[in-house]
Amino acid sequence: MSRHTRRRSKSQVRMTIAGAGLLASAAVVTTVAIASAGEVPHAYDGATTKSAKAGADHAVFVQGNELAGNTIHVFKRDEGGKLTAAGAYLTGGKGGDQVDAPTDSLASQGSLVYDRSSHLLLAVNAGSGTVTSFRVEGQKLTDRRVMRSGGDFPSSIAVSGNLAYVMNAGGAGNVQGFQITASGLEPLGGSYRSLGLKNGKVPLFSSSPGQIAFTPGGHELVVTTKSADTIEVFPMRRDGRPAHRAKVNNSAGGVPFAITFDRAGRMLVAEAEKSTVSTYKVRADGSLKVVQRPLANGQNTLCWLERAGDFIYGGNTGNSTVTGYRTDRHGRLALTNKTGIATPPSAMSQGVIDLAVTQDEKFLYVQNATSGTIDGFRIGRNGSLTKVTTATGLPPFAESGMEGMAAV
C-alpha cells in the first residue's frame, strides 16, 4: 500500500484479528555503522564528562521518529519537573510509520529505553532496521553506535542485566538479543526467535506486536501480539538465550498492548479493545495465571502503561486522557478515582501516547502525538497528578510522528 494512498483516522482505532503461530529460524546480525556523537548539532560537539556522573543530571529524552532522520530530543529537568530544551541528536537511522497508524507511528511501547546500569540510551530506527545506542552524560549523548536490529521494523526494546532484546514487528516478527558491553551493543548469536506473524516489512499497526519486556527477575521474555490476542512468553536459559519456542497464552482482554509490573512482580497488561487492564502471574514454564480479570477504565483506547511506586498510569489515545490506578498489598488493582481520569485533557495535550516515569517516581511525563508536546506532572501521595510543565516544538503526528520517551 502506498503511503500517499493510506487513509488514517485520528479519532478511532480499528483492530483486526488474525491468527499467530511460531516458527524457529536464525539470522545473522551485523554492525552497519559506528560513529561518535560528534555529528550532534548545537553546543555539544565533543563534550564529555566522567561516566560516573552519567545520569546524575535530570533529563527527559524524546524520540522524534522523523522519517528523513531519526532524532533524540533532549530536555533538562529541574527539581520541580520543568523541562527546558537541551539539544537534539541524530541517531544515524530513519524513523518509521506503520500502515494506517492513527496517532502512534510505531504502535508500540518501549521504543526508547534508558539502562541505568550501563548509562546507555537505546533507540529503534524502524525505517532503517537498526538500533542506536548512546552513552548518557547528564543531558549530553555521546559515543553513538548503530547496529542491525536482526529483522524488519524494530519497534520495542527490553533490558535485563547485561542483555537487551529487540522486537522486530515487520514480516514474521522476531526477537533478537544483544549483549550490553563497555563499547555498546554486541549481537548475541543464537538468540533470534520468530513470532510467526504475517506482516509486511512495514506492518499494519493493528497486527504488529505491542511490546517486548523482561519479567523483573529476567527469567522470562514477554511479547504482546495485538490482533492475535495472545501473550507469548519465552522462558530464558542461563546463557541469555530464549527457549526455542514461546508459550502462547490467550489474553484475558482484547488487543493486548503495553506491559508493566507491580512491586511484587505481577504483570499488568493494557488492552486497547475495551480500555482494560489485566493482572497475571508469570509461571516459570511461560504460562500465565490470571490474578485479576480485565478492569475497565471507562476511557477510549488504553494502550500505554507505566508504574510509579504503588500507582500505575495508563495513556488513552482515543480521548487523550491519562488514567490512574493503585495496587494494594494483595495485588488488587483499582482506579484512583471513579471517573478513570487522573488529569483532564487540554488543547495542548491531544493524542496521548507514550508515558515515562522518573527514577525517583516523583514525576510522570506524557507524550502528546497530535499536539507535538510533552506534559509533565508531579505525582501526589494519593496518585493525583498536578501539571508542572509543557514542552512544545516536537514533531507532531502527520506522515509520522514522535514516539518513545525515557526519563532520568
Judge whether residue 25 has pLDDT over 90: no
Question: pLDDT tens-digit profile of 108-129?
Answer: 999 999 999 999 999 999 999 9
Question: pLDDT tens-digit profile of 196-228?
Answer: 999 999 999 999 999 999 999 999 999 999 999
Domains and CATH numbers, the chain: 22-407 (2.130.10.10)
Q: HSE of 19 in the Cβ direction (CA atoms, 13 Å)?
A: 2
DSSP code, position 237: P
- Alpha carbon distance 156, 98 (integer Å): 14
The residue among 39 and 293 whose pLDDT is bigger is 293
Kindly state the average pLDDT of the residues 233-242: 98
- pLDDT given at position 136: 96
Helix (H/G/I), strand (E/B), else coil: 3: helix
CA distances from residue 207 to 16, 170, 172 in whole angstroms, order as listed: 7, 10, 11
Exposure pattern of 183-215 as b/e (b: 16+ CB <10 Å)? ebbbbbeebbbbbbbebeebbbbbbbbbbbbbb
User: What percentage of residues in the chain have a pLDDT greater than 70?
Assistant: 86
Kindly state the average pLDDT of the residues 176-184: 94
DSSP code, position 48: -
Kindly state the average pLDDT of the residues 379-398: 95
DSSP code, position 188: -
Question: pLDDT tens-digit profile of 271-317?
Answer: 999 999 999 999 999 999 999 999 999 999 999 999 999 999 999 99
